[in-house]
Amino acid sequence: MHRKLVTALAIALTTLPLCAAETISDDDIAYMATSRPHNLPRLLTLQTAEVLESYGVAFAGGGNIHSALQGNDDFFRGSLYIGLGDVAELGYEQENIPVATDDGLKRMRGHIKLQLLQESHYVPALAISYGASLDPQDGLAADNLQLDRSQWTLGLAKSLEIGSLSISLHPAVVLQQDELSSTNATTTSPVQKRRVDGQMGITWQRRAETMFLFEARTLGIVDPNSFAAQALAYHDAVQANLGVRFYLRNWIFMDAGLLNTYDIDQDAWNNAIHANLTGIIPVKTVSERVIGWFGH
């Protein structure tokens, strides 16, 4: 009985597609055959307007290779996402808030994403998401400070077919709010800052097992020198990320890319190589296949 169950699970996992409605030919069974390459909940670092399928579970881990080579034991970042009803997604991840003259503030972040509109032939997919820090004091406890960050993201996704090349576009607008406050109740009131940033993601794919990805966005790098005066200031910056995704199997893939950040105010560049390993398990699809296998 146990051997039969293990065999059924193995068959289901090695043949399941990223989307439950998608089918994969025998020739592409070992790889991810992407019928709609934009149908990705996230690219290298950016979220998209797509969500995981209902009952789908995604797990990912990776980080900055430069930090790992330098002996930094805090380079690893993990995440977990759950699909809800093919229209929503709930996720938890370890994020890095960029800080000038520092590696950044590491903390947990939770988000929920709602897909308001699915893509059709003429209309792009539309989604809105909200995310917030779950441990705002992390990295600032020694200064008796905490930084709460929340973000609203409105994104679109549209796919194109040009000959044998599949292309997808992922523009988005991000409304960010930061609140710097003291853990000492006798000090001044919290300081709030809002900013609006834009981001763009592009994918292109010709072979089923390989996808190229490009990301660009504007962002604010927190200036820690402003903390001493109980203030909150940013350096304006732009970030570009170019990488490749290789599907080891149709449910597990590896990303690697070169992340370039340009601090406009300081006229300084920061380059880093990063890598991630992601697995996506459509739980509903797996259970249906296992039940079907036992029914034969």
Mean pLDDT of 227-240: 85
pLDDT at 23: 47
pLDDT of residue 210 exceeding 80, the answer is yes
Q: CB 41: neighbour CB atoms within 10 A?
A: 22
Q: What percent of the chain has pLDDT over 90?
A: 29
Q: Given a cut of 90, is residue 250 above it in pLDDT? A: no
Per-residue pLDDT band at 68 (split at 50, 70, 90): low
pLDDT of residue 295: 58
pLDDT in tens, 29-52: 444 443 333 357 888 889 899 988
Cα angle 103, 253, 251 (rounded to 5 degrees) comes to 135
6 falls in which pLDDT band (50, 70, 90)? Answer: very low
Tell me the percentage of the chain whose pLDDT exceeds 70: 72
Mean pLDDT of the chain: 78
Alpha helices per DSSP H over the chain: 2-15, 65-69, 283-295
Strand partners, 282: 56
How many CB atoms lie under 10 A from the CB of residue 20? 15
What CATH code is carried by the domain that includes residue 24? 2.40.160.40
pLDDT at 100: 73
pLDDT in tens, 109-132: 899 999 999 988 889 999 999 999
Q: What is the pTM of this model?
A: 0.78
**pLDDT exceeds cutoff 70 at 142:** no
- d(C-alpha 230, C-alpha 145), whole Å: 9
The mean pLDDT of 65-79, rounded to a whole number, is 64
Query: Over 50: is that where the pLDDT of 80 sits?
Result: yes
Determine how β-strand 145-162 pairs with β-strand 125-133. Answer: antiparallel
Report which listed range, 78-87, 169-178, 187-196, 203-212, is most confident.
169-178
pLDDT tens, residue by residue, 14-31: 444 443 334 444 444 444
* Residue-level pLDDT at 19: 39
Give the per-residue pLDDT at 83.
87
What is the per-residue pLDDT for 154?
Answer: 97
- Looking at residue 27, its pLDDT comes to 47
Burial code (b: 16+ CB inside 10 Å, e: under 16) for 143-180 equals eebbbbbbbebebbbbbeeeeeebebbbbbebebebbb
Domain count, the chain: 1
The parent domain of residue 104 ranges over: 2-295
